[in-house]
Each structure stands twice: as structure tokens, then as C-alpha cells.
Amino acid sequence: MKLLLYLSYDGSAFCGYQAQRHGNTVQQTLNTATEALFGHPCDVTGCSRTDTGVHAHMFCATVTGQGGSPLHTTIPLDKMPSVLNIHLPDSIAAYQAQWVPDEFHPRYSVSSKEYIYRIYRAPHRSPFEHKRSWHIPQPLPLDAVKTMNEAAQAFVGTRDFSACMASGSEIADKVRTVSSARVWQEGEYILFAVRADGFLYHMVRIMMGTLVDVALNKISVESIPERLDSLDRRRMGRTAPADGLYLHRVYYDDPDIPGYQGGACHET
């Protein structure tokens, strides 16, 4: 059996999830914390390789002994998050834990993921939104949110999303299925949520940047499908900053995994 952890984190202090030689990462921090908790090095595998500065409302990671060996512990599952959090910095918190079968993989068992992007729409910046949203001070048209939501529907479906992938990426299969995309407003915030079976490098940030360019009348709503069909990154809008991007939810379809609600693991 593997230990499955449910976590959230503020990504502004990390160079992404994946462990690397230079820079602090979420995975390295979890490696250090689990070794301190269990008294020996552990293998930690995450559900996604979030980029530098990207946050997570919900992130799933499995923990085993080194080389996938069984993890032995007497800590009750309901106490596991609190005990682990003692060894984690304030920027990362575990909120649930459960045992899952050895064949479960937090990344490859995923059926879909949902990201949310936050825009702070106000004349002046807020210190409370620093590194947590994209501040856009310039006025937007009154119908900006409606127009952005209309444009976002062009992303829904199965297609080659090369036009929404960062230049220089070496991913061979660029076909993804986007099951939903929507834009709405909550007070001073504009939010964009998109769910897909997978995402390319910078895909959500390019989508968001394109929608902002639509709102600013730099790109027409009607041109989005043709721009996507071009498979040309240069035809899409800017790349939105990482600050406003959050991995919001991860979905699994395996009904035999306890603790998954509605096909997703999330904080309750």
C-alpha cells in the first residue's frame, strides 16, 4: 500500500514542484518532511509538475519507502496531516491522508485536472494579492467578462493545442481534450476555470493571456478557432504570469479508491 497525501501550497516561494539541483521545490520540501516524520528517506510522487510560482488548492502525492518499498508507520491516518505539517513550512499544508493500492499512481491515474486563474481587476495593486493573482489596472469594457467567457468556449473539445504551448517545448503528443472552460466575475476578481485530461507547458497561462487580449479588443472572439487551428503559438495572445494560476482539483475515476468524492480528491 501507498500513503496518499492531500496538500495545498503557495507556490510563490518554490521553483515549481519537480525536484532540481538549483532552487527550492515542493517535492524536495516534501522529501525532507517525510524523512523527518518517518525516520528514513522516502519516495514522493506528485500528481502534477506545477511550474515556478504556480499554486495548488489541492495536490495529491503518494509516499513510499525508497524504491517503492512499503511504508511502515503507526501514526493514525486522521492524525497524519497534523503530524506532517509540523515538519512543513507555512507555505505547504497537508489536510488529508489515506492508504491506496500499490498500482495507484497520483499522476498517471488522473482522468482530468482543473485549473483556476485569478485576475485582480482594480486601479491599484493590493499587497494581499502580491504573487497570488494577475493585477490588471487598466479599465476593461463593461462586457469584458461575457466576451471572455464566449471566447473561452472555443477551447472546449479535443484538438491539437500546439498554439497554446510555450515555444521550445519538446512534447510529441499535443492533443488534449478540454471538457469545460468558463470565465466569471466575483467582485474585483475575474476567474477562469478550465478542465482537461491534460495540459501542455504554459497552456492555461496562454489561454488566459489570449482571453485578456480578447477583452482588450486586441483579438476577436471569432478568430479564436482559426488561431487554434493554425497550431502557431504566435497567433495566440500573451502568456499570463504564473502568479494567478492554481491547480484547483484533480479527478480520478477509480471507484475502488476510498475517499474520492465525485471522482475527485478535494478538501472537505
Catalytically active residues are 51
3-class DSSP assignment, residue 32: helix
C-alpha cell belonging to residue 76: 493514525
Only one residue has cell 500546439, namely 162
How far is CA 46 from each of CA 175, 177, 221, 230, rounded to the nearest angstrom?
A: 22, 22, 36, 33
| Contact residues for 261 (Cβ-Cβ < 8 A; gap 6+) | 268
CB 72 within 8 A of CB 87: no
What single string gives the DSSP state of each residue in 214-268? HHTTSS-GGGHHHHHHTT-GGGS-PPPPGGGEEEEEEEE--TTSTT-BTTEE---
Distance of CA 161 to the CA centre of its chain: 18
Neighbours of 64 (CB within 10 A): 18
